[in-house]
Structure 1
Amino acid sequence: DKDIIEESFGGSVKNILVCSVCGETREKDEAFVNLSVEVGELNRVSPASSPLPAVPPTNSSSSSSSNRSRTKTPEVIPPTTLQNCIATFTSPEIIPTPLSCERCKAKQVFSKQIKLDNLPRNLVLHLKRFRRNKKLSNTVEFPAVLDIAPFTKSPATSTVYLLNAVVNHEGGLHQGHYNCYIKKNKEWFRCQDDKVFQVEEEVVLGDNCTAYLLFYSR
């Protein structure tokens, strides 16, 4: 039932747009039932930075050699934390296409920032491990207790969430297997197909290279 899903998992964020010239601010609400956050660094342009100019190759052979070198070098993504993933999700970025500014009476460059606003009773975080035809298996450390106050616009309710379930994906891009951890009566259990057995919380938090969905509640 849609109402049950929205009641249990529904929340909203504020999309905040700011003109880089006059500072005009626009806000727009957007509903969600889960938040999808990147687990690796993105090529984003922040308002405080600008893209570096590309360095042209000296000749075609060096360009080909450079391309081959980049192709052979695997992408290495350092370990990160869930808080860093959410910080990236809510950090300001430049909108590539200029927008009309009513105050400037012209098209200007705007920045965009997302802030959590109406907090759900149950917060579902989706770790985006599938990107550019590959699966990212880097470490994402996640806590048993998550405080999202730094990522909210103006918290009016409790911002502290407790972890109560984790869905893992083991395998690669084209094949794999799902299993999960569930917390019941302050004890953790691993569900693996038709097998269910008890585990310690340290095991749950340590399984941070395969975690795919994180379920928190308050």
Structure 2
Amino acid sequence: MCMACGFTSTTYDPCLDISLDLEPNQGVSGKSSLAKSNNSCNVVADCMGSSQNCGISTLKGCLERFTRAEKLGSDQKFFCQKCQVRQESLKQMSIRKLPLVSCFHIKRFEHSSIRRMSRKVDRYLQFPFSLDMAPYLSSSILRSRFGNRIFPFDGDEQDACNEVSSEFELFAVVTHTGKLDAGHYVTYLRLSNHWYKCDDAWITRVNESIVLAAQGYMMFYVQKMLYYKASEKQAAS
């Protein structure tokens, strides 16, 4: 959005998943509050010798950061079609249309060409079992910025219509243990409201606290109505 005249240029980018940066370090106080508020899980993130690995992040915080407006620097001015000159601008990401299954990928592997180093970020990520995606939708962000005025979307009107509920349920978590150059992947899967740990050929039933304590690398959320319909069918059979 042009900061001089308010002209907005919109680009649509289809995707299979959303890659999220971890929130900036919240420090030890964040870990302490998590340990006190989550007695059933009692999760405390470990400090691995780097400040980037201390503290906690939350999935909701990562989504808020993903959809937060960002002011582009003076060296990144874009050409405003209304002003007909390059202007300073704001860039903001949002979700136009929700899928039936939402996949979130956490950026745990960092590469720096300046420092000439690569590493894995082991900071703990707190994620909920139930997730409301409404605050991160384009329609919600436009309403928060401009009120209840209606702004038509470009492109196919049918595509812009979002018939999927914004309420989602967690049904799978992929974790990664190890380092950047070597590690192991484990999946936690939710079936009939029970959690199972899938570790190569070994599948064992686990409780929710084990899932919450896992180092989330990818999280899969399914539309809540579909999840409960599938659970009812499994219970009936």
Normalising by structure 1, we get a TM-score of 0.73
Aligned counterparts, 1:167-186, within 5 A = 167-186=174-193
Select 2:106's aligned residue among 127, 131, 140: 127
- CA distance in 2 between counterparts of 1:135 and 1:19 reads 37
Instruction: Indicate the residue corresponding to 2:32 in structure 1.
Output: none
Secondary structure of the structure 1 residue equivalent to 2:95: strand
Q: In the TM superposition, what is the alpha-carbon distance from 1:103 to its structure 2 partner? A: 1.7
Instruction: Indicate the residue corresponding to 2:126 in structure 1.
Output: 141
Q: In the TM superposition, what is the alpha-carbon distance from 1:40 to its structure 2 partner? A: 3.7
Structure 1 residues without counterparts, runs of 5 or longer: 1-17, 43-72
Aligned counterparts, 1:1-218, within 5 A = 18-41=1-24, 74-76=50-52, 77-96=54-73, 97-132=76-111, 133-154=118-139, 156=162, 157-207=164-214, 210-218=215-223
Secondary structure of the structure 2 residue equivalent to 1:88: helix
Shift of the 74–205 alpha-carbon distance from structure 1 to 2, 3 Å rule, reads: closer
Report the aligned-residue RMSD: 1.7
Deviations for 1:137-194, whole angstroms, at most 9, x for unmatched residues?
1011000001111111126441111000011000011111011101111111001111
Bigger fraction of residues in helix: 2
* Aligned residue type for 1:94: K
Deviations for 1:42-87, whole angstroms, at most 9, x for unmatched residues?
9xxxxxxxxxxxxxxxxxxxxxxxxxxxxxx833343111000011
Q: In the TM superposition, what is the alpha-carbon distance from 1:29 to its structure 2 partner? A: 1.4
Deviations for 1:104-153, whole angstroms, at most 9, x for unmatched residues?
12110111101111101000000100013110110110000011111111
* Aligned residue type for 2:14: A
* Aligned residue type for 1:148: M
Where relative contact order (Cα < 8 A, 6+ residues apart) is larger, the structure is 1
State, as a whole percentage, how many aligned pairs show the same letter: 31
Secondary structure of the structure 1 residue equivalent to 2:66: helix
- CA distance in 2 between counterparts of 1:74 and 1:137 reads 10
Higher mean displacement: 161-170 or 96-105: 96-105
What is the count of residue pairs matched by the alignment?
Answer: 169
Normalising by structure 2, we get a TM-score of 0.68
- CA distance in 2 between counterparts of 1:78 and 1:128 reads 16
